């Protein structure tokens, strides 16, 4: 494989020239990215349909429109983000003035997965551009049509020494470029297994990382929840994109007293949203045969209450609801990442904790309840990346909230201002005037201990 080192070195030179530092430059690049998204809108729809059978409406909400919303928010706030931020100064350093400067990190690497191949590549890019960095983009080879369109868009829109797309097999391309070149930040979205490998490679060069990983995100339905609303909101996000979403509810734990009522409404919602004759054409496919076969293997455990039909040729896998699932079944030990939803019941909260503790630090937690006290108890007693009360997955769309995992589900966060901060260095500056220069600050210090104790305490 031909080395990319000469191109990467050119990127370093381009960054060092400081052309990316100015507000005007960053603003213009964000505007260019927004324009190219509109220009390639139809090609993006076609590519996402080819890769995942996504419909245009879903493409807009979860891919193109989502990214444009991030761009608009960055354009609106970029000037204020870039301003010096005044900081307090302690008595010891009186009468100094302190402030923080957000500076770009340098050359960043962004690695995207296949499930939302455009948004999960370009949303972090928005933050990296806003912060003034040069960026190497690695789209997923498992969504080849989208990767090809992305390569075309970026090459046409940006200087290659500013934004560069690295195509090809990630298992070969990423180790090669990370071995040859020290990036100033690596942003990876994907599996925990691959994230661990990325982290190890980055550590060898002391490269900071943001890891947006997966995990089994639980959904707790209390007895006092609005059961019909809960079923609809769980179904729409669990089966969207055929369940291939890192923050989809991985399994539901519903209170025993409302289990049958919940299952009735859940089946109804799955049928109406994704499986009725009028909606089936708007249902996504599984990305490839490997993932399809993995999902098929899950149907050997538990009782299929709804769905369970699939077709290998078209990679169609029907929304499927499963009950009576043993806790040691594969679907309860692995992240499902598909349209299979195990529904478990509970009577005592200790049962819920026991199940969640098998997969610590989920990326998301969803709680359905009408009790503020119960809401507070669940969200304060479980460690998770982020989540919703009486909703599922939609916190991801709020750019006022940081999105990220904890522990096994990742490190760091992004979206909105948090993306800008992720790709920035917070440089601390303290300015001290010369007109005030007391002898107390200088040696000899003998006999000044009590005075120091009064000042520093």
Residues in the chain: 457
Residue in the structure block whose two tokens are 């995100």: 217
3-state secondary structure of 457: coil
Query: For 311, phi and psi rounded to 5 degrees?
Result: -140, 115
Q: Do the beta carbons of residue 270 and residue 319 sit within 8 Å?
A: yes
Residue 1 CA to residue 81 CA, distance in Å, equals 40
Query: Inter-axis angle of helices 227-238 and 259-270, to 10 degrees?
Result: 50
DSSP string for 338-353: SSEEEEEEESSHHHHH
Q: Do the beta carbons of residue 187 and residue 383 sit within 8 Å?
A: no
Question: Could you give the dihedral angle defined by the CA atoms of residues 121, 68, 391 and 385, in that order, rounded to the nearest 10 degrees?
Answer: 40
Catalytic residue among 246, 335, 388, 421: 246
Bridge partners of 104, per DSSP, are 424
CA atoms within a 13 Å half-sphere pointing along the CA-CB vector of 224: 8
Q: Do the beta carbons of residue 25 and residue 104 sit within 8 Å?
A: no
Catalytic residue among 63, 70, 212, 421: 212
Query: For 429, phi and psi rounded to 5 degrees?
Result: -130, 135
Query: For 185, phi and psi rounded to 5 degrees?
Result: -165, 145
DSSP string for 210-266: EEE-----EEEE-TTS-HHHHHHHHHHHHSGGGG--TTS--EEEEEGGGHHHHHHHH
Return all residues near 309 (Cβ < 8 A) that are at least 6 apart. 318
Which of 337, 327, 248, 253 has its CA nearest to residue 288? Answer: 337
3-state secondary structure of 185: strand
DSSP 300: T
* 388 is annotated as an active-site residue: no
3-state secondary structure of 401: coil
Query: Inter-axis angle of helices 65-82 and 119-130, to 10 degrees?
Result: 10
Residue 36 CA to residue 24 CA, distance in Å, equals 18
Q: Do the beta carbons of residue 340 and residue 295 sit within 8 Å?
A: yes
Which of 114, 106, 26, 121 has its CA nearest to residue 74? Answer: 26
Active site residues: 212, 246
């Amino acid at each position: 494989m031909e080395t990319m080192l000469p191109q990467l070195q050119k990127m370093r030179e381009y960054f060092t020239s400081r052309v990316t530092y100015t507000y005007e430059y960053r603003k213009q690049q964000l505007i260019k990215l927004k324009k190219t998204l509109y220009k390639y809108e139809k090609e993006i729809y076609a590519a996402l349909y080819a890769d995942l059978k996504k419909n245009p409406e879903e493409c807009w909400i979860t891919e193109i429109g989502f990214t444009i919303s991030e761009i608009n928010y960055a354009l609106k706030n970029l000037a204020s983000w870039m301003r010096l931020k005044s900081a307090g100064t302690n008595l010891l350093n009186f009468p100094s003035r302190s402030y923080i400067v957000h500076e770009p990190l340098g050359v960043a690497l962004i690695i995207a997965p296949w499930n939302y191949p455009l948004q999960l590549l370009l949303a972090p890019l928005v933050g990296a551009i806003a912060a003034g960095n040069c960026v190497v983009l690695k789209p997923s080879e498992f969504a080849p049509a989208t990767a090809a369109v992305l390569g075309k868009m970026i090459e046409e829109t940006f200087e290659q020494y500013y934004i560069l797309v690295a195509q090809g097999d990630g298992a070969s391309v990423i180790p090669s470029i990370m071995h040859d070149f020290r990036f100033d930040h690596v942003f990876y979205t994907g599996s925990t297994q691959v994230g661990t490998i990325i982290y190890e490679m980055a550590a060898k060069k002391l490269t900071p990382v943001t890891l947006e990983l997966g995990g089994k995100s639980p959904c707790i339905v209390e007895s006092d929840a609005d059961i019909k609303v809960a079923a609809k909101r769980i179904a729409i996000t669990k089966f969207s994109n055929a369940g291939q979403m890192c923050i989809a509810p991985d399994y539901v734990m519903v209170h025993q007293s409302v289990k049958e009522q919940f299952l009735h409404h859940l089946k109804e919602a799955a049928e109406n949203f994704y499986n009725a004759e009028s909606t089936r054409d708007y249902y996504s496919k599984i990305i490839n045969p490997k993932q399809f076969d993995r999902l098929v293997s899950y149907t050997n455990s538990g009782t299929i209450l709804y769905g369970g039909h699939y077709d290998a040729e078209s990679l169609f896998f029907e929304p499927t609801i499963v009950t009576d699932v043993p806790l040691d079944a594969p679907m309860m030990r692995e992240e499902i990442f598909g349209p299979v939803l195990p529904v478990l019941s509970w009577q005592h909260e200790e049962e819920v904790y026991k199940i969640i503790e098998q997969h610590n630090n989920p990326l998301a937690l969803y709680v359905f309840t009408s009790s503020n006290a119960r809401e507070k108890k669940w969200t304060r007693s479980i460690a998770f990346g982020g989540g919703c009360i009486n909703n599922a997955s939609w916190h991801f769309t709020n750019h006022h909230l940081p999105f990220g995992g904890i522990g096994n589900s990742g490190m760091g966060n992004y979206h909105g201002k948090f993306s800008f901060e992720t790709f920035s260095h917070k440089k601390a500056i303290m300015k001290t005037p010369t007109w005030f220069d007391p002898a107390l600050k200088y040696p000899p210090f003998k006999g000044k201990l009590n005075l120091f104790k009064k000042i520093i305490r």
